[in-house]
Amino acid sequence: MTEVIQYTIGMSNGFFIRSGETVIAVDSGGEMGDGPFLDVCRKHGIDPRSIALLVVTHGHVDHFVNMGAMKALTKAPLLCHKLAAPFLWEGLKPDVFGRNALGRAVMARQAIEGDPIPFVPKVEPDILFEGTYDLKPWGIDGKIIETPGHSKCSTAVILDSGQALVGDTIAQPPGASTVGLAFLSDTENSDAVLFDSVERILSAAHTVYSGHGGPFSRDEVMAALLEEKAQQSQTAGAAE
């Protein structure tokens, strides 16, 4: 049986995937330091030294900000998509756009309030991939796939059990009570690419674990996707 354990640190979620004695960790939560990570390990009965692999879903700082501490504590290799690697190597922040009205509002509010994570630490990834990455050699029945739309380097962990860990491709917006699709993107006019990524996730998963909020059911995510497609059609119709 494959178990997904979700925890929240700061502004984002991190995860453990446990199958028998095997554990891998996905994303880091949104704060730095040994303490928060060790606390969630103790809470869930996980010895940090038993973690075999660290995974970053995409190169945004709230998902890798604590990977340096996690690498030091676990001695596990760190894996990410090759397009995410420069953000980790160099401590970079991406240029992002508001994908929709909500995203534009979030960007405007951040411009006034300031960045919630102003410092981007550098961390060295050990394994880079593109395309599809098989997790079975690590003792986990599943794979990692590319899911662009929120970012060019976005990926999702798809487990054979029907669970998916999707980073910010699918997320609960700030202050919202329901799930939505990514409201920020590093590419303008990214709707079609994002919709395709969400459809591929839903074709393989019944439960979706997000970097923000969740977990969500397939039906909840499908409703959000259909609503966005309807809004897109209305906007296109009005422009004609």
Rounded-to-integer distance, Cα 182 and Cα 194, Å: 8
Q: How high is the pLDDT of residue 111?
A: 82
d(CA 118, CA 223): 34
pLDDT tens digits for range 40-66: 999 999 999 999 999 999 999 999 999
From residue 161, give the alpha-carbon distance in Å to each of 41, 192, 207, 223.
23, 27, 9, 22
DSSP state of 31: -
Residue 88, SS3 per DSSP? helix
Mind listing the domains of the chain with CATH numbers?
2-92+100-117+124-239 (3.60.15.10)
pLDDT in tens, 172-230: 987 788 899 999 999 988 899 999 999 999 999 999 999 999 999 999 999 999 999 98
Choose from 15-19, 171-175, 231-235 the range with maximum mean pLDDT.
15-19
Indicate the pTM of the whole model.
0.95
Pairing of strands 216-217, 207-209: antiparallel
Write a three-state SS string for 150-209.
CCCCCEEEEECCCEEECCCCEECCCCCCCCEECCEECCCCCHHHHHHHHHHHHCCCCEEE
Q: Are strands 184-185 and 97-98 parallel, antiparallel or unpaired?
A: antiparallel
Task: Pick the more confident residue, 119 or 224.
Answer: 224
Q: How far apart are CA 32 and CA 38, in angstroms?
A: 12
Nearby residues of 230 by Cβ (< 8 Å), 6 or more positions away: none
pLDDT of residue 237: 62
